[in-house]
Structure 1
């Protein structure tokens, strides 16, 4: 334990284990609920190495340790013998459709890695077999092809493992259930019956819906069983009872339900493409995919694609459209690369062009599209034309592989016509988007916007000395106040870093920099962002608002998301926050202030969203 001695001293100074009723953590602090606050030796805790400050109030006894608090907390609860507590238990009802899509998307994300590997391997095998390097009848080919086919055959196992943690289930029991339904006595076997009840013949291989439904139900079964089984028998009886309930439930109910849902999804898209036309679906998706990615819904098609490939042996629409759209993004960036005369922008456009062509469009979408907007139109034109051509000519994707490296997979079993049609669609999208982007251009006021992020500050003593800096915009519309005026000791003392306070006048919260979301606290009151220059920004919304447990807070980003300066990242009902008795001041601090020459806050004034609030002196 890295923090064992530190935590042991904390426990002793707060009055011992028997004085601790509960402990949770915020973005920077440990929040104790103590039986008797008077037993805590506050001054001794303040003098400990590693403690920034102690704040004791009616809300909680808070020991501020910094942004590594999560690591400290994990070891602390082990020493206390407590279970981890979640800060958020909001009673706000979630949209059921969004909740379902969130589970599907979050379960698909971890297994994209083997799926993409299998798709690119299929492309590579097509090349080596057609060139005669390796014969399709050779053991070498069949061994590598086994890897490709195994990924899809055992898809239920991957899905069970990835969804288990999300749904509160033991991953080992989830995998055991998936492996059981894939076993030879059950998978695709006719004439089975359970307790005299006949079972339908179902192929569980290559599917994902039956096991996902089963794991969802297993979460509830797990909670029920743990409640009724005595603690002394949990280790032995809990897994047995869970599996004894889940196997019949899966075979009798969730297996058939998931199977028919999957068949229904396939039938719907087949009917849509038959009576409306695959050209319409492909044109629409190819043109709109950047919007879908920006909304965080890029992976929602993957379950549909998996079902279509499992049923038909190919995907008649979506993977092809995704590749066409990616190439169109690359074409648009090339058009701007040729058009711009700004050296910094030329470097940016050239870099993201290559990544988009290879199938990674997020740098272009978040780095260029969100900022300049006109590239969306260019991709809608180029991608729409490429998708229309592919739809009319009936292009098929035989595996999950997109970008230029995935094109050989369109050969399938020697289907060269399909490959050349796909190549033609890609060329159309690339050229069309490049021409559209070149003609659309970039407005003059936006063309110089990138240069505003880095300013030159001239020293008062010597005008020949210049310092490079970067500016943070205001995270909300309102009034700037100096951090020293904020009614939170951890922030007002500068212990967590230099920064600024904002008294908000509107409910929207915006990113102050271009960067990546490093953390969104479960109670949504604190967000961390790492900027392009390494600056670590902490946005702390309100004082002691962690106690609201997420009420009145709506955050639209998650850890790992890329954001742009001025992009809306959340919304807070500040009127309700204040009505609940909390200070709504927003603190924005640079937690790694020591890495820079200085952090200079703006003077107190009214600010709009894109007005500057802080300047960081880089060098």
Structure 2
């Protein structure tokens, strides 16, 4: 197993396999349902190689892996001994706590996540088929078109069968029974009956007017077209799972294998045709019409709002709430105006990544930017968001602005999605409608280029904090707002004091690990004020949940550790207030931590604070510039590179 050790560590830090109720994955994330999220070590997971970040949303504990998540998922399943069919106890999962929004997002993501890959693949085939016809490379009358269309269209036409499996599994029923319910809805004979002359009409003259072709036990059946539909099968399997559980309780074990599905089908399939299907379809039609009406009021504003907030919804996993609405529109309207508005978002994101890559001097960010850019082209933006733009803050905000502009252009041109296809660049063919490459399609191309170009330019010009120029850094060391910098000798860096207090020799403190120099070289400060400020410009590389210790990697590669007090980890964050988060970029003098000196001492702990250079081997010399008393932002340590 390629990711066996990573899988073992992930299982360990989510609280062990006994803490896992279920596990699924989407394009970039492992989505755990945990019995007790407090048992998971979120910070340890975030700091692991191979893990981008951790999110808690929609009732799920989401470990963001990146593009290779299917391989990691397979190894986690194997190492944990989880069953792919349920990965835990689905019934227990169903009863787990959470607000209504969390439960809704969890249900939708669990139902649609398993089919996303096939959904994207078949949608891409449909989209490219339309593209080839529009370009004149293929005829709709030819056999090539027919076969490719069969591949691309079959999944959508029989969508209720596939959703029957995933929805029934989610609701705790037998998945293959869900498939039978879905297959009943799209059974060809039913479609043939609907094509004939109706026997009579119900609700004539109302919006619910329905032709009646058949009856069931004398009860009129309102037949609907359920191919490509979503809501009817989800509701049918929801009630079907409950019916199945009832019969499992009352039917003897010796005949349970065949009598449970027998009676379940006899109840739920007719009930779906008589009541659940028509009601769900009517409701879906009304919602679809309502959405279309809202969009028609101002497609421009709708595009701006959806474009601006799409990436934020992705971060919290709330974008799943729009998926059913999109399918509903495709089923009732034949197109979807919602998800088409997010097309430009991924290109805004990679525009920001390119701007960061060109502008930054941080090698780690440059290294991350290349794969993040490539995956973003194909619509997978989590590596870009979590690895590059979000930690830098401004590039992420600018990417939202670019996505809003792109969304507004899409709304202005009336761009629509005609099939659920691929993401990123592969989404383009999905926006070719019956009229071919019309102005709406070319609007999507304009939106893509505008979002990318605007975001790149804004990120390059305004998105990155000014990083010191090594050629002139000596002049900035005397500036009040930049006490730590590289001197005129470009191989020397000066680190400022993060505290006000008395400087002590490291060997004099009452902690053998620090005093012996095992953690690195440096000094200690007996603080006079409970404030830690950034001793140099850099990135917060580690910030412990207890807020008592913080790691900083300066813009020039010096790795610093500031540890407030001895054994203060036992306070579990009490008396400490953090003002930054891991991944933040800070400037020299920025406030990092506040702590209550008196309360910590009353609790029986020392507040002596080591300031350690944890990569001293990089330097030829480390000199303490200040002795005795020191104020925050005073020059404290000078470092000379080995190459000097």
Are residues 1:474 and 2:578 paired?
A: no
Deviation at 1:374, TM superposition (A): 1.0
Match of 1:273 among 289, 295, 301: 295
Query: What is the aligned partner in structure 2 of residue 367 from structure 1?
Result: 387
Alpha-carbon contact 2:342-2:407 (below 8 Å) kept:
no
Q: How many Å apart are 1:184 and its aligned residue? A: 2.4
Rounded Cα–Cα distance in structure 2 between residues aligned with 1:607 and 1:195: 84
Q: Distance in 2 between matches of 1:280 and 1:224?
A: 49
2:216 corresponds to 1:194: yes
Please give the alpha-carbon distance, in whole angstroms, between the structure 2 residues aligned to 1:606 and 1:92: 43
Deviation at 1:90, TM superposition (A): 11
Residue 171 of structure 2 is aligned to residue 171 of structure 1: no
1:250 is aligned, of 261, 272, 291, to 272
How many equivalent pairs are there?
Answer: 426
1:344: how far off? 3.2
Aligned to 2:525: none
Deviation at 1:132, TM superposition (A): 4.1
One of 113, 127, 137 as aligned partner of 1:123: 127
Aligned-residue RMSD, C-alpha = 4.5
Q: 1:263 to 1:91 in 2, by over 3 A?
A: closer
Partners of 2:355 and 2:456 within 8 A in 1: yes
- The equivalent residue for 1:337 is 357
Alignment of 1:80-95 (within 5 A): 94-95=98-99
Map 1:208-219; keep pairs closer than 5 Å.
208-219=230-241
* Cα distance change, pair 471–362 in 1 and its aligned pair in 2 (3 A): closer
Map 1:219-618; keep pairs closer than 5 Å. Answer: 219-275=241-297, 277-316=298-337, 318-401=338-421, 402-413=423-434, 414-443=436-465, 473-477=543-547, 504-505=572-573
TM-score, length of structure 1 as denominator length? 0.60
State the distance in 2 between where 1:357 and 1:399 align: 20
Rounded to whole Å, the distance in 2 between the matches of 1:250 and 1:87 is 23
Cα shift readout 1:510-543 (whole Å, capped 9, x = no counterpart): 9x999xxxxxxxxxxxxxxxxxxxxxxxxxxxxx
Contact 1:192/1:199 (8 A) holds in 2: yes
**Which of 182, 185, 190 is equivalent to 2:189?**
185
Looking at structure 2, the residues matched to 244 and 88 of structure 1 have their Cα atoms a distance apart, in angstroms, of 27
Q: Deviations over 1:144-189 (max 9, x none)?
A: 1111111211111111111121111111111011101111233482
Q: Which has the higher contact order (CA 8 A, sep 6+)?
A: 1
Q: Does 1:27 align with 2:8?
A: no
How has the CA–CA distance of structure 1 residues 180 and 605 changed in structure 2, closer, same or farther, with 3 Å as cutoff? farther
**Per-residue deviation, 1:501:** 7.5
Give per-residue Cα distances to partners, 1:167-226, cap 9 Å, x unaligned.
111111110111011112334824122221112231111101011011111121121111
Contact 1:326–1:360 under 8 Å retained in 2: yes
Whether the 8 Å contact between 1:339 and 1:438 is mirrored in structure 2 is yes
Which protein shows a greater Rg?
A: 2
1:565: how far off?
A: 9.4
Aligned to 1:598: none
Match runs of 1:141-152 below 5 Å: 141-152=145-156
- Structure 2 distance, partners of 1:153, 1:403, is 24
Residue by residue over 1:395-444, the C-alpha shift from the partner in whole angstroms, topping out at 9 and shown as x without a partner, is 12222233123323333332343322211111111111112212222235
Cα distance in 2 between the residues matched to 1:337 and 1:26: 37
2: CA distance between counterparts of 1:418 and 1:87? 46
> Which secondary structure does the structure 2 equivalent of 1:152 belong to?
helix
Q: Is the 8 A contact 2:231 2:280 kept in 1?
A: yes
In the TM superposition, residue 28 of structure 1 has moved relative to its aligned partner by 6.8
The residue matched to 1:298 in structure 2 has which SS? helix
Cα distance per residue 1:351-374 (max 9 Å; x no partner): 322321221111111112331111
TM-score by length of 2: 0.58
User: 2: CA distance between counterparts of 1:364 and 1:225?
Assistant: 49
CA gap 1:90/1:111 in 2 versus in 1, 3 angstroms = closer
| Kept after mapping to 1: 8 A contact 2:395/2:464 | no
Q: Which residue of structure 2 aligns with residue 16 of structure 1?
A: none
User: What is the alpha-carbon distance in structure 1 between the residues aligned to residue 215 and residue 427 of structure 2?
Assistant: 43
Secondary structure, in 3 states, of the residue corresponding to 1:306? helix
Question: How far apart in 1 are the matches of 2:174 and 2:575?
Answer: 40
Q: Which runs of 5+ in 2 are unaligned?
A: 1-13, 20-74, 83-87, 195-211, 470-483, 485-494, 496-513, 522-539, 551-567, 586-604, 618-644
**Contact 2:355–2:457, Cα closer than 8 Å, also in 1:** yes
Aligned-residue offset at 1:238 = 1.1
Query: Structure 1: which 5+ runs fail to align?
Result: 1-24, 31-67, 76-83, 465-469, 481-499, 515-563, 567-603
- Contact 1:381 / 1:436 at 8 angstroms: preserved in 2? no
Deviation digits for residues 313-344 of structure 1, max 9, x if unmatched? 2222x232221111111111122223223333
Relative to structure 1, the CA distance from residue 442 to residue 147 in structure 2 (aligned partners, 3 Å threshold; closer, same or farther) is same
